[in-house]
Amino acid sequence: MSLFINNGLTGLLAAQRALQTTSNNVANANTDGYVRQRVNFGENPGREIGGFSVGTGVNVAGIERIYDQFLGAELNSATMSQHRAQTFNTMALRLDGLLGNPDLNISPSIQRFFDQVELLNRDPTSAVNRQQLLAEAESLTQRFHQMNSQLAGIADEVDSRLRESVNTINNLAASIATVNDRIALSGDNVPNDLLDEQGRLMTQLAEQVDFTAVKKANGTFDLMVGSGQPLVLGTLSFELALIPNEFDGSQLELAYNDGNQLQLISNRVAGGAVAGLMSFRNDTLNAVRRDLGQVAVGMSVVFNSQHREGIDLNGDLGGDFFANLAPAVAGSANNTGAANVTAVIGDASAVEAKDYVLRFDGAAWQLFDAGTGAPKSMTGSGTGADPFIAGGLEITVGGAAAAGDRFLLQPVAQSAGKFDTLVTNPSMIAAAGPLTASVSLQNSGNATLSPITIADATNPGLLQPVDIRFDDAATYRIYDTGGADLTGPLAYTSGADISFNGFTVQISGAPTTGDTFSIGPSGAGSGDNGNGLALAAIGSQGFFANGQQSIDDLSASILTSIGSTAARSSQDLLVQSALREQIELDLESVSGVNLEEEAANLLRYQEAYLASSKIIGIANDLFQTLLGVVGR
């Protein structure tokens, strides 16, 4: 009779545990990170009675989490990739929206500026046209500054997001270590809710940074970040930190804090929001800032060069229209020597939108691409008389450098914020060509004079009036206005360059003895637009990439480039999201709660509970009957 009752009681208790577990599954069907649980039943050992082994009921062997650790690891990996893509895409779309705004984009401002140069050429002496050109120049300056400020604002936002992510990472690491401690203390009976919490925390951590998880025999995890630095070791947690960039204190870098020192790991994270922010800043935002700076440098160098070849309304040679933009040079905070480095732009057409690192190895200076680390060849010795030449730059080093000292050279990255208009007086716009040429009406030959080109606007004799007079058909001399011979006889070749005092001209045809060609300054108030025409053509002329790319091309390509980047990042986000969703579905099919299945289990366990109750009831009736029989 006792076995009969025991079977009913064990069955009742087992069904009760199963109902409790199933109801818990149902209650947590929508709980994030909850893993379905299942009761495992075990048969109690039989008992020998009358030569037979009689069953003694059932026991609950355990309540098992239905979880696939391999799918869980894949989900964390997919989460790292998806959140990296999501963060990058969010920032790329922000940048695309900024550059795509016609009220902020630099390209329309450049176009309006050159359009106004065209209008000035129609009436070079017009005070209204000249004033409007200065207004457009100032508008262009403001646009460079506004864009530079907006890009700096996005960089600040990246730093703020990094701070938020690092705080989250450190909090999650501490929480995982606490859960590890509770799991370790639980011994062989680890509560399933602790394991669920552990999994949820690790998934949340995967949203912020990529890590490697190592499971230990007691159910705890060690987590490694960067190049193997431990973030969680059993019940201990370590922290990540943000430190100023060695060259630019306003830019933050990711570091690992082991409690004693900080190890830079910015380039060693590949997943999560942190990697997305780092990649966006280093590969996209900084590239846009360099491209914008290159446009500013091009406008300054090319326009100034041509403007200096013209003459203003006062009859003076033109000066710099825009501010000259010098490369930025910054020494590493880790330098121990006393070296100093300066750089100037020697050939703007060879300058690329790149940053460089100049490093002293103890014996010689070496130049590297800051983005790729690839070496960059240099010529020269680095002295003032013989500077290093590389990438259009002239680099001079001085002082005593220590081995390992490094300097960051930014030819164009900071130029947009320094762009400025120097000409403030409309009369100082040098729209006229500095020289005019005339042919003597008494010439009897058929020789003709070409337009004058300026080879050296700095030549002190450029504006000196001179006459080119032919001794005969084969020789000529150059005289000043007083009739003094300045050159002596020179051989004449039709169409060949005649260069003198910084100008170049060609005479073609057959001159005769005494034929004279006069060249002199245009003078004050000139209505000539010779230099203005050259200024108007600057925007569309090839200059960058060794003459293959114009200012217009480069300014337009900035928007095209970021638009392409944003589109690619959106596509990458779709792919990474789809991969994560598929792995989530795969894991859900294993670990998720199926309400229909649980409903069926409830009915099954309810019936088992009722059946066990019936067994106990029958056993009780039999026992009472037996007592009644014995009592008689």
pLDDT in tens, 349-376: 899 999 999 999 999 999 999 999 999 9
pLDDT category at 630 given cuts 50, 70, 90 is low
Q: Are strands 475-480 and 516-521 parallel, antiparallel or unpaired?
A: unpaired
Rounded to whole angstroms, how far apart are CA atoms 413 and 406? 18
pLDDT category at 598 given cuts 50, 70, 90 is confident
Neighbours of 146 (CB within 10 A): 15
Rounded to whole angstroms, how far apart are CA atoms 247 and 370? 11
- Half-sphere exposure at residue 397, Cβ-oriented, CA atoms within 13 angstroms: 24
Kindly state the average pLDDT of the residues 96-114: 88
**Angle at CA of residue 20, ends 17 and 25, nearest 5°:** 125
Q: What is the dihedral of CA 435, 441, 446, 449, to 10 degrees?
A: 0
Report the SS3 class of residue 438.
Answer: strand
- Half-sphere exposure at residue 570, Cβ-oriented, CA atoms within 13 angstroms: 10
> Model pTM?
0.87
- Half-sphere exposure at residue 548, Cβ-oriented, CA atoms within 13 angstroms: 5
Residue found by looking up tokens 């987590």 in the block? 223
Rounded to whole angstroms, how far apart are CA atoms 434 and 620? 124
Kindly state the average pLDDT of the residues 244-253: 92
pLDDT category at 85 given cuts 50, 70, 90 is very high
The confidence score (pLDDT) of residue 2 equals 63
Rounded to whole angstroms, how far apart are CA atoms 305 and 285? 30
pLDDT category at 631 given cuts 50, 70, 90 is low
Q: What is the dihedral of CA 412, 249, 251, 146, to 10 degrees?
A: -50
| Cβ pair 519, 468 in contact under 8 A | yes
Q: Which of 29, 85, 38 is nearest to 568 (CA)?
A: 85
Please state, rounded to an integer, the average pLDDT across all residues of the chain. 92
| Cβ pair 252, 242 in contact under 8 A | yes
Strand positions, DSSP E, 434-582: 435-439, 448-449, 453-454, 466-470, 475-480, 490-491, 497-500, 503-508, 516-521, 542-543, 549-550
Tokens of 118: 């065209």
Least trusted range by pLDDT, from 48-62, 180-194, 478-492, 575-589: 48-62
Kindly state the average pLDDT of the residues 197-209: 96
